[in-house]
Structure 1
Amino acid sequence: MAPHFVLGEQAARNPSFTYLLPPLAGPGVPQQLLIQSAAAGDLPAFKKFARMLDGGKGRLKEAVEAVKNRGAGALHQAARYGRTAMCAYMVEELQVDIDAADELGATPLGYAIYGGIVDTVSYLLDHGANPDKPNEKGCTPLHLAVEQGHCEIVKVLLVKGANVDSSSDHGTPLHVAASKSQDGCMKILLDHHADAGADVKGVGTFTPLIVAATEGLTDFYKCLLEGGADPDVPDKFGFLPIEIAARQNRRKDVEILLPVTSRIPSVHDWSVDGMITYVNKQVEVDPFFKIRPADLKLEGNRAYMRKDYLTAAKLYNMAIEHDPEDMTLYSNTSVCWLKMGKGMNALETAQVCRILRPDWPKGCYREGTAHMFLKDYEKACNAFLDGFKLDPANIEIENALRMIMPQSSLQIPEALKSLKASRAA
């Protein structure tokens, strides 16, 4: 199953991303009014509240930068609402940090992209904003622009030097375009020589063409193939794009893929009908496809218990097709890949689980264990901490954090104390 990219989940997780004015009461009123005036583009009011917060010290930059809502400052809010003149005052007059990140790693440029404001995006880029600065998931401004379908912004970013093949936990911008059915953005990326054969995890199992075949994105084949996509690269279970399309009875897809795919020796009738017939016969003789959908998870559990991890992973994956809302299927599949020593596959599955259910501690734990297997201890620690924030009483996650302490530079003991204290309060 292809992961669904939801880079815009930041807006749902971070109220500061969709500007909401807090109640105007209490000692924080000037700070709230500063943010409000920035979002409204009211420069005289903004200057007034900035001076009020500065208190005559002559350090307006510091006073403005100190006002944040979940890490997002006045420049973030001005950018989000396309207040270019307000951005210019802060960037050129006050010289605030143009690449300041909120608590999820989003910069003012990301906020402007989320708002779809081309002029503000151009202004920020012209004045030094980093077009490749990633957020906490490794997603760059280009990933976000593609996910939102902002073709003009995609063009601006690429002209300003954004890396067309920047890699994140969710793959390259081209993967995002395929997964989100952004054909306009895909064509722009390919025109700028995006790598049509790039794999999400760099192991040759999840290319944009695999995404297109899995999701049935027929209109994407031509531009991907013309861009250099290799139709002979299989998915992690060994199926070629043409087999994936044939298994789903997508005749048009098979017609497109057949002439460019190397002949499969076991397919005697190398034609569209022959390919579909071959795959259907494979399904008929495959014992997996004789299992009732309701029993797939149970049979997967049995295969896992007898340490037949590949069979278990296949059964869990088939069960996902029938019940994509069952997060334990993703979690179990991730464990199977780890047992087989396939760390990248385990990570990919765990991250899909987290995308679909970001509030589930087990998904965080699975991602953390996959990162540990790959010896990426910083990312493992961050994933475990995310899970611990969701469930500070989770002993399994706490033990994992303590185990990773020697390998991580993060101050884990302090983080654990802080999280427990905040939960107790």
Structure 2
Amino acid sequence: MDLLYRSIRGLSPLICAIYGTAPKTIVELLLDRGAKPDLPSTEGVTVLHVLATKKDPFGIADMLLSRGAKVDSMSSEGTPLHFAAQCGNLEMMEVLLKYEANPNSVVQSSYAPLTMALLSSSLKCVELVIQAGADVNAAKPVTPLIIAARYGLSDCIKCLLKYGADPNIADEIGITPVEIAAIHGWKKCVEILFPDTSPVDKFADWSIDGIMEHVKSGSSEGHLDNMMQASFKAQGDYAFEREDYVHASAQYTLAIGSGPEDPILYSKRCLCYLRMGEKNKALDDASTCERLGCFVSRRFHEQGSALIPTEDYGQAGEALISSLKLDSESGPVGEGSREEDV
């Protein structure tokens, strides 16, 4: 097979070319000889993804796009626009958006380019992607404004509000951006959000100082941990629904470490490990669930545990699902009957 068409150890000749000397000349030569501009690595990364993370003084990205490269090619971590936004690479974002990159494309992790731009703390990148059509109220319940409030990005909050972000959209557990900012101690952000936020009943004194005092006095005790845990869980659930089990398991791990022990989180991570083929980790989480009283049927648990070493993950998963009872009706032992003798 022609080397121009295949990847070597996951990296195409085009990807290797941009790291060498005279990269534009070599890329032009490869394209003229029939190299495919969208040939991905084993992780789905194309040469555009790589260029999005670095400077491109020779205009290689523009050349690739003008010769048919897909501007929204998707890897496990997103499109080239996701990569550029995450790196705060304004110049590359401008090139990609010139070729109509989708500013609302959502990667399996539930992040859109606007979210990535916020996480890079680049106001210019945030404004650029919004002007290109990014939805400032997308990704409910974890909206861009909630993310900006969590990280104290006061200038980005101003920008989001300017373009129509709604400060009254609450997060997963009903906390608004102004309260999130207060919990984290970002008073300047509270001052920016307050005029556009509708009064919240639980605050006896609906004022900037009243909100800050409410949080300081302990009235919001435990909200921060609950908020973070709920956020990680929501992102894990979103990734799980899209069969992105690696990301889902990582989010469930963060949720487990950010709040009180929750057997449901262990059970969900257990299922991720099953789908990933991590049998020992799955068994560890299954045992933790049992210790926390999550199992309803020991028979199904034993059946699932026995099937995991045989690598029959499909049947093992079904058995463990039956025992874990992930729906809202399940509860720890003592809250309901445990069917030991099903």
Fold in common (TM above 0.5): yes
Q: Deviations over 1:367-416 (max 9, x none)?
A: 6847xxxxxxxxx99x615x47999xx937944345679xxxxxxxxxxx
Distance in 2, Cα, partners of 1:184 & 1:397: 53
Counterpart for residue 103 of structure 1: 42
- After TM superposition, the structure 1 = structure 2 runs for residues 380-399 of structure 1, keeping only pairs within 5 Å, are 384-385=276-277, 387=278, 395=308, 398-399=311-312
Tell me by how many angstroms 1:211 deviates. 0.7
Counterpart for residue 71 of structure 2: 131
1:114 match: secondary structure: coil
Tell me by how many angstroms 1:156 deviates. 0.6
Would the aligned equivalents of 1:147 and 1:182 in 2 still touch at CA under 8 Å?
no
Would the aligned equivalents of 2:150 and 2:180 in 1 still touch at CA under 8 Å?
yes
TM-score (norm 2): 0.69
Q: Does 1:196 align with 2:92?
A: no
Q: Does 1:68 align with 2:2?
A: no
Counterpart for residue 152 of structure 1: 91
Counterpart for residue 245 of structure 1: 181
Tell me by how many angstroms 1:187 deviates. 1.4
Distance in 1, Cα, partners of 2:7 & 2:245: 35
Counterpart for residue 326 of structure 2: none
Tell me by how many angstroms 1:257 deviates. 0.4
Unaligned runs of 5+ in 1: 1-61, 294-312, 319-329, 371-379, 406-425
Tell me by how many angstroms 1:198 deviates. 1.0
Tell me by how many angstroms 1:285 deviates. 7.4
Distance in 2, Cα, partners of 1:181 & 1:254: 18
Counterpart for residue 250 of structure 2: 354
Counterpart for residue 325 of structure 1: none
Counterpart for residue 116 of structure 1: 55
1:115 match: secondary structure: coil
Would the aligned equivalents of 1:197 and 1:230 in 2 still touch at CA under 8 Å?
yes
Taking only aligned residues, the RMSD between alpha carbons, in angstroms, comes to: 4.0
Instruction: Pick one of 325, 331, 344 that aligns with 2:238.
Output: 344
Counterpart for residue 229 of structure 2: 317
Task: Determine what percentage of the aligned residue pairs are the same residue.
Answer: 27
Tell me by how many angstroms 1:270 deviates. 2.2
2:166 match: secondary structure: coil
Distance in 2, Cα, partners of 1:275 & 1:364: 35
2:53 match: secondary structure: helix
Tell me by how many angstroms 1:284 deviates. 4.0
Q: Does 1:257 align with 2:193?
A: yes
- After TM superposition, the structure 1 = structure 2 runs for residues 49-64 of structure 1, keeping only pairs within 5 Å, are 62-64=1-3
Q: Does 1:224 align with 2:160?
A: yes
Distance 1:217-1:107 versus aligned 2 partners, 3 A rule:
same
Would the aligned equivalents of 2:4 and 2:30 in 1 still touch at CA under 8 Å?
no
Distance 1:157-1:285 versus aligned 2 partners, 3 A rule:
closer
Instruction: Pick one of 220, 227, 236 that aligns with 2:172.
Output: 236
Q: Deviations over 1:252-286 (max 9, x none)?
A: 111100001111133243211112123334x3475
- After TM superposition, the structure 1 = structure 2 runs for residues 176-187 of structure 1, keeping only pairs within 5 Å, are 176-187=116-127
Tell me by how many angstroms 1:219 deviates. 1.9
2:107 match: secondary structure: coil
Q: Deviations over 1:119-150 (max 9, x none)?
A: 1111111111001010024x000000111111
Tell me by how many angstroms 1:161 deviates. 1.1
Residues matched between the structures, number = 281
* Amino acid paired to 1:269: D
Would the aligned equivalents of 2:214 and 2:220 in 1 still touch at CA under 8 Å?
no
Q: Deviations over 1:72-121 (max 9, x none)?
A: 121111134571111111112x1121111110000121122233215111
Q: Does 1:276 align with 2:212?
A: yes
TM-score (norm 1): 0.57
Distance in 1, Cα, partners of 2:23 & 2:280: 35
Instruction: Pick one of 87, 97, 104 that aligns with 1:165.
Output: 104
Higher percent of residues as helix = 1
Unaligned runs of 5+ in 2: 255-264, 283-304, 319-342
